[in-house]
């Protein structure tokens, strides 16, 4: 980063979860599985799912309101809304446009969605950083929200046990004290592994042309393949992110990783040599909430006193694409 780039402040973080709880025991009513199988392989005990008319837009809006309240900004100050969603209620209007409307923002601001699966929050932060540090915008709202439960194949026990619904949001603004809260951020993708997790659209050709095979519109995942890919890449990647920032794991107070599988979290923890109390995990209660999992883990652990503000954390995630990313951040007092 050169000196004429503007420093950025993480001003507020919020989250929202649906109320309905599905336990592992509940899932035994759908297919042959057990709490023991799911918990020992994933660390998951239960997950939250949307119900009735509730969807990822509602969750995202609520998380955004909370992040805005914590940041102390007026929604009219927002210059850009980016929503990371890979399991949205509709492809368009973008969830970001719905959130613009629900926040009652009168200004015409750009609002768009990005698809980076579970890396979405880090991708969104990276976009916010580029706009703020270049001076194009002062205030960016990043929302990460997914209603995975509506797009899962509920007959597929190897995939549907893993996911839950939820939303997180972050307000990023130009820093007013010269301190840059993003010490380092990086995002990556390798499209060669796209086949490992996919969510095809059904769709059809015009009846005047040759019909094409309609694919089921459900999340499909090669769990073993994802696990192998991530276990190989992520621990080393996070270690490198630290080294590139000129830091060591002792400089980091908390590891706040994407909550996909407790064994993957432990692999990163082991590589960094971090003790349990520095590693944040809530996968037991919420499963994999995709892009929302990092901001939920961050804000909830502050609420519960597990993460003290005024600290430094490393955030890291991976997801369909395959995509991955990480950020080393300062967590100011009062952000959540």
118 in catalytic set: yes
Residue 327 β-bridge partners: 185, 315
Residue closer to ligand ACO (CB basis): 32 or 333: 32
Residue with tokens 């994933």: 42
Q: Least distance in Å: CB of 48 to ligand ACO?
A: 16
249 and 242 in contact (C-beta within 8 Å)?
A: yes
Q: Least distance in Å: CB of 109 to ligand ACO?
A: 28
Catalytic entry in 258, 261, 316, 336: 258
Residue 107 burial (CB count, 10 A): 10
336 in catalytic set: no
Q: Least distance in Å: CB of 291 to ligand ACO?
A: 8
258 in catalytic set: yes
DSSP 8-state symbol, 213: P
Peptide bond into 322 cis (omega under 30): yes
Q: Least distance in Å: CB of 198 to ligand ACO?
A: 10
Residue closer to ligand ACO (CB basis): 9 or 258: 258
Residue closer to ligand ACO (CB basis): 123 or 131: 123
Peptide bond into 93 cis (omega under 30): yes
Residue closer to ligand ACO (CB basis): 41 or 102: 41
DSSP E strand stretches across 215-253 = 220-221
Q: Which residues bind ligand ACO (CB under 6 A)?
A: 33, 37-38, 41-42, 117-118, 157-158, 161-162, 197, 221, 223-224, 226-227, 260-261, 288, 290, 319-320
Residue with tokens 């407790």: 262
Catalytic entry in 24, 118, 261, 316: 118
Q: Least distance in Å: CB of 167 to ligand ACO?
A: 16
Residue closer to ligand ACO (CB basis): 110 or 223: 223
What's the CA gap between 133 and 142, in Å, rounded? 15
Residue 333 burial (CB count, 10 A): 8
Catalytic entry in 24, 147, 148, 288: 288
Residue with tokens 């967590």: 331
What's the CA gap between 41 and 36, in Å, rounded? 8
Maximum separation of any 2 CA atoms in the chain, in Å: 64
What's the angle, vertex CA 288, arms to CA 66 and CA 248, rounded to 5? 80
Residue with tokens 């883990």: 297
Residues with catalytic annotation? 118, 258, 288
């Amino acid at each position: 980063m050169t000196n004429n780039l503007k420093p950025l402040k993480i001003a507020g973080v919020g989250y929202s979860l649906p109320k309905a709880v599905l336990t592992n025991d509940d899932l035994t009513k759908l297919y042959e599985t057990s709490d023991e199988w799911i918990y020992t392989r994933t660390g998951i005990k239960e997950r939250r799912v949307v119900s009735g008319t509730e969807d990822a837009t509602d969750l995202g809006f609520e998380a955004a309101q909370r992040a805005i309240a914590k940041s102390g900004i007026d929604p009219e100050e927002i210059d850009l809304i980016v929503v990371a969603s890979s399991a949205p209620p509709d492809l368009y209007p973008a969830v970001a446009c719905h959130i613009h409307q629900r926040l009652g923002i009168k200004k015409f601001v750009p609002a768009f969605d990005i698809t980076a699966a579970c890396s979405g929050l880090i991708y969104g932060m990276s976009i916010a950083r580029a706009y703020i540090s270049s001076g194009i915008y002062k205030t960016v709202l990043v929302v990460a929200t997914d209603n995975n439960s509506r797009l899962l194949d509920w007959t597929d026990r190897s995939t549907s046990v893993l996911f839950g619904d939820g939303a997180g949001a972050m307000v990023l603004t130009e820093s007013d004290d010269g301190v840059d809260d993003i010490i380092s951020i990086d995002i990556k993708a390798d499209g060669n592994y796209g086949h490992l997790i996919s969510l095809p659209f059904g769709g059809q050709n015009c009846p005047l042309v040759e019909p094409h095979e309609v694919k089921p519109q459900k999340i499909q995942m090669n769990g073993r393949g994802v696990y192998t890919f991530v276990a190989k890449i992520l621990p080393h990647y996070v270690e490198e992110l630290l080294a590139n920032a000129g830091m060591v794991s002792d400089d980091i107070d908390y590891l706040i990783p994407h909550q996909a599988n407790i064994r993957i979290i432990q692999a990163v923890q082991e590589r960094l040599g971090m003790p349990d109390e520095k590693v944040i995990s809530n996968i037991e209660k919420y499963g994999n909430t995709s892009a929302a999992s990092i901001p939920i883990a961050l804000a909830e652990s502050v609420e519960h006193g597990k993460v003290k503000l005024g600290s430094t954390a490393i955030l890291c995630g991976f997801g369909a694409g395959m995509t991955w990313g990480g950020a080393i951040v300062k967590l100011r007092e009062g952000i959540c």
